[in-house]
Chains A and B, each alone.
Chain A
């Protein structure tokens, strides 16, 4: 009950924004709403009438995002561990990891399409590359933040480097990994859309791309609404998983604002 009440401010804010939006589009007249920004009720109507197209497109994009994040977590996690153990590897790879975040998707997406075709694979790669950065940076920071006194303590217990990693460093880094994955969720959705822009015939990004020139702006915005809801759902799911997997990280701070 209390949880439900906590959602009230967000709901009021969203309703107010929708109201302002509706009013604004009404004042601008029909040309504006057809070609530039549709009214919320037109978007709602598109969500209903185009539901089968939007749903099948959503399944495509959702698959790209989920598999892409998974790949980023697996590869990024492994790289973080390697970086944690090898200062040389850290110095060698960090500039590239940072650079990978700065290169616009539009630049490397055509190259990926050239190499990997127009199927799901190049989209996975794009999603993985854009979410990779936040995962590697947060996971490495989490591993680095382990108290050096704890490492010393484990050494006086004759623990091997691997044992110390398993019992001390890995569990302490997990909250950071979750934080990185939550950041990755939002950017990965954008990544999937841009990947679909550059070469595809399905997915919500493709729907947005082909709807705009046909003056079906309401459909494009409807697709965007679904993308946003998807990002929120993924974020919430990760937060829930984190609470279940790491109850110790929340115990004493149960009541803090979520």
Chain B
């Protein structure tokens, strides 16, 4: 439960600001600072954070807990404005940390929520979503409610909902953190496969360094709060990657070292 001040801040945040698109389909975050006033005083979430994602690049952001990763995503999605610095980003759709599927809607209606949000009728949204559910291996669960789906299926529906928003940028907030290890590995492979066929610019927040190295073109390592980028690691290993590849293992160790972990 967030503090009272924080809740108000979230709900009554200013309307989304039109942002310059001098980063077509990409994301530029330059020296951004952002803080919040809480009942226990001022908290600086980000201080001088920079990040760049070119079109159709997947940039993973790793960092210790509470380093402002979620704030960063909300800045990119235009849900908040920075206190200092600039954010240029093509329109971005969010995939929240918890799946946040609506319990009263079936899988297909949850997947089509972004379409309905823009005014499509239920039938139009279903027509658009149906072939995707099939591609995602969910065709038998179209009319199943989230409570009866497995964790992996719920994440797939949640991802599809974000994808169908039709935005060039996908902001994924620890999408697989709540899954068990085996399902998480499956979903990582699945995500790589989907993005190969449906290229988007992806900002992937994760605390799993291996996940970052397996999926990303670039890994940005953040410092503890107030967060800023302390290292940037290019991952040039061709996809699909294997966890056991020497180069993957080596990059993972480099990222962990940048996080300050003893390995």
Residue ranges of A at the interface with B (Cβ–Cβ < 8 Å): 147-159, 163-164, 167-168, 171-172, 246, 248-249, 251-252
Does residue B148 face the partner (Cβ distance < 8 Å to A)?
yes
Q: How far is the CB of A147 from chain B (nearest CB, A)?
A: 7
B256 at the binding interface (Cβ < 8 Å)? no
- A252–B149 CA distance with the chains assembled, in angstroms: 12
Considering only CB atoms, which chain B residue lies closest to A252 in the complex? B147
Report the separation of the CA atoms of residues A239 and B216 in the bound assembly, to the nearest whole angstrom: 51
> Taking the complex as formed, is B246 at the interface, i.e. its CB lies under 8 A from any CB of chain A?
no
CA distance A148 to B77 in the complex (A): 15
| Chain B contacts with A in 103-139, Cβ cutoff 8 A | 103-104, 113-114, 116-119
**Chain B: interface residue count, which band?**
20 to 34
Docked pose: A249 CA to B147 CA in angstroms: 10
A151 to B11 alpha-carbon distance, docked (Å): 8
Of the candidates A147, A156, A168, A246, which one forms a contact with B92 in the assembled complex, judged by CB atoms under 8 Å apart? Answer: A156
29 A-B pairs with CB atoms under 8 Å apart are A148-B7, A148-B11, A149-B96, A149-B100, A150-B96, A150-B102, A152-B74, A152-B77, A153-B94, A154-B113, A155-B77, A155-B79, A156-B78, A157-B93, A157-B114, A157-B117, A157-B165, A159-B118, A167-B113, A167-B117, A171-B102, A171-B104, A248-B104, A248-B147, A249-B103, A249-B104, A251-B147, A251-B148, A252-B147
A147 proximity list for chain B (CB < 8 A) = 100
Let me know if A157 and B118 touch, CB within 8 A: yes
Chain B residues with CB under 8 Å of A172's CB are 102
Contacts of A248 in B (CB 8 A): 103-104, 145, 147
Of B10, B117, B145, B148, which contacts A154 at CB under 8 A? B117
Determine the distance from Cα of A172 to Cα of B165 in the docked complex, in whole angstroms. 22
Q: Give chain B's interface secondary structure class.
A: loop
User: A249 vs B146: C-alpha distance in the bound complex, in angstroms?
Assistant: 12
Using CB atoms and an 8 Å cutoff, list the residues of chain B in contact with chain A.
Answer: 2, 7, 10-11, 16, 74, 77-79, 92-94, 96-98, 100, 102-104, 113-114, 116-119, 145, 147-148, 165, 167, 171
Name the A residues within 8 Å of B114 (CB-CB). 157
Residues in B neighbouring A171, C-beta threshold 8 A:
102, 104
A167 pairs with B116, CB closer than 8 A: yes
* Bound-state Cα–Cα, A168 to B147, Å: 17
Q: For the complex, what is the distance from the CA of A204 to the CA of B165, rounded to whole Å?
A: 58
Given the complex, which residues of B lie within 8 Å of A149, measured CB to CB?
Answer: 96-98, 100
Whether the pair A155, B16 counts as a contact (CB closer than 8 A) is: yes
Known contacts A153-B94, A154-B117, A157-B117; A168/B10 CB under 8 A: no
Bound-state Cα–Cα, A93 to B23, Å = 48
Q: Which residue on chain B has the smallest CB distance to residue A150?
A: B100
**Closest Cβ neighbor of A160 among chain B residues:** B117
List 4 tightest A-B contacts by C-beta distance, closest first.
A159-B117, A157-B117, A157-B114, A156-B94
Q: Please report the C-alpha to C-alpha distance between residue A158 and residue B165 in the assembled complex, in whole angstroms.
A: 9
Sample of 13 more A-B contacts, CB < 8 Å, known A148-B10, A152-B79, A156-B171: A147-B100, A149-B97, A150-B96, A150-B100, A151-B10, A151-B11, A153-B94, A154-B117, A157-B113, A163-B119, A167-B117, A248-B145, A248-B147
**Is A251 in contact with B93, judged by CB distance below 8 angstroms?**
no
Q: How far is the CB of B45 from chain A (nearest CB, A)?
A: 15
